[in-house]
Amino acid sequence: MFFDEARIHVKSGRGGSGSVAFRREKGVPYGGPAGGNGGRGGDVYVRAAERLNTLVAFQNQIHFSAEDGRHGRGKNQQGRSGEDAVVEVPLGTVVRDADTGQVLADLAKDGQEALVARGGRGGRGNAAFATSTNQAPRISERGEPGEAHWLELELKLLADVGLVGMPNAGKSTLLSAVSAARPKIASYPFTTLQPCLGVVSLDYDTSFVMADLPGLIEGASRGAGLGHRFLRHVERTRLLVHLIDGAAKDPLGDYDTINHELEAFSAALAAKPQIVAVNKMDLPEAQELWPLIREGLAERGVQAQHISGATGEGVRALLGQIAQRLSEIPVEVPAEAPPQEIIAEPERDERAFTMGISPSGWHVHGIAIERAAHMTNWDQEESLARFQRILEAMGVTMALREAGVSEGDTVFIGDVELQWGWQST
């Protein structure tokens, strides 16, 4: 099977917690706080690798996690940052957030990578909280949790030329004749069950990648036959070679059917430049129909040439025409997410928060306030007092009071469950 879709789960590392420690060294009369900060959690990256060509590896492994940061220690020793995790995917892989469908990356070049899960920041040790009025703080932060996401991976093959046509039009025969690729060849429809790539070399300076795609039939854009799963791969090609079976019952009807399916799937796909070639000219019936086919295509504004993938007749001329057309077409790979859409995305206000109430209690959500709750060390009195000051400074305390919170009510800040008390505010 050709694996061109996968679903994976990525999780970045949690930051290490800060330490509470004091210097007690001989000859140091005034020790002071010496708790080091925790290390940052590792990030998760998705990276394109030229040596890969399918997503088959993700059938067995779907969970990828970066390393957690190490905790800080005494003597101002900082915790080591966690190792990053790198998920390698083939060139042409589109990465989407499984929950929102947002395109996170479109990896088209070898080594190109995208950050998909950011590691949590390390918590500060008590040395970072020392001030002129609090010279011996007993407070530290826990490490920030990492991010976790389900991602959808979709592979769209990167090829210069895509062979399209009805089943049994001779696409595999042509590819095997002009490259070292060895697709399965037989005299029945749907012999090709998965895309196959081959490198075509005309001379020292001229070569291109050709893709043999499973045959299309009427209704392929709606899911009929095999081709509908592979139409996405045609989107990446710069040029289409439309192969017509010259010995078919209705060659012109086949030509119209394929173009209709391409247009139904994508207007951009239908607008791609095409070279039309009538195949199987080694057969008597194809030779007999050739004048009618040529005339019918001319009426459609198409100038076709005839070839035989089996004997090589006209193939060299076809490859020369392909190379000429490719030299006139830009090399850019169409991106899933235009850069301007990313640039235009408004920046998030981390201090903003929302409130709501449910039978279980009050719910407060916001980037900064949830981060503060996760990083607060609830076993330290100074940390509790600091979190109360954060609630006041961000306006959360006032907002809850105005909304009608009562003493003893449960307040959820992200995943942290607290009990509201007037005396503590």
Same domain, 200 and 236: yes
Task: Confirm if 36 and 19 have CB atoms less than 8 A apart.
Answer: yes
Task: Give the tens place of pLDDT for each residue, 307-362.
Answer: 999 899 999 999 999 999 998 987 655 455 444 333 334 456 889 999 999 999 99
Q: Are 243 and 364 in the same domain?
A: no
CATH number at 40 reads 2.70.210.12
Any idea what the CATH number is for the domain that residue 317 is in? 3.40.50.300
- Whether pLDDT at 181 is above 70: no
Give the mean pLDDT of 46-55. 86
- Tell me the range of 19-28, 149-158, 251-260 where mean pLDDT is highest: 251-260
Domain shared by 76 and 103, yes or no = yes
What average pLDDT does range 177-206 have in this prediction?
63
Q: Are residues 230 and 114 in the same domain?
A: no
Structural domain contains residue 348: no
Confidence category of residue 279, pLDDT binned at 50, 70, 90: very high
Domain range for 398 is: 354-424
Confidence of residue 412 (pLDDT cuts 50, 70, 90): very high
Segment 37-47 mean pLDDT: 97
Residue 302 in any domain: the answer is yes
- Total domains present in the chain: 3
Q: What percentage of the chain carries pLDDT values higher than 70?
A: 84
Question: Is 64 strand, coil or helix?
Answer: strand
Residue 333 lies in a domain: no
Q: Indicate whether 358 belongs to any domain.
A: yes
Model pLDDT, residue 224: 40
Neighbours of 213 (CB within 10 A): 24
282 and 414 share a domain?
no
Q: Where a domain ends, among 106, 139, 156?
A: 156
Domain identity same for 147 and 180: no
Mean local confidence (pLDDT), 290-310:
93
Q: Which residues are within 8 A (CB) of 300 and not within 5 positions of it... i.e. 6 or more apart?
A: 255
Residue 35 has pLDDT above 80, yes or no: yes
Whether residue 291 is found in the same domain as residue 171? yes
Whether 146 and 165 map to the same domain: the answer is no
User: Which residue among 327, 342, 365 closes a domain?
Assistant: 327
The DSSP-derived string for 246-281 is TTSS-HHHHHHHHHHHHHHH-HHHHTS-EEEEEE-T
In-domain check, residue 343: no
Q: Is residue 338 part of a domain?
A: no
Give this prediction's pTM.
0.70
Supply the pLDDT for residue 339. Answer: 42
Q: Are residues 102 and 216 in the same domain?
A: no
Q: 301 and 408 in one domain?
A: no
- Do residues 180 and 58 make contact, with C-beta atoms less than 8 angstroms apart? no
Q: Are 183 and 143 contained in the same domain? A: no
Is pLDDT larger for residue 145 or for residue 343? 145
Above 60 in pLDDT, residue 227? no
If asked whether residues 170 and 316 sit together in one domain, one would say yes
Q: Of 133, 156, 179, which closes a domain?
A: 156
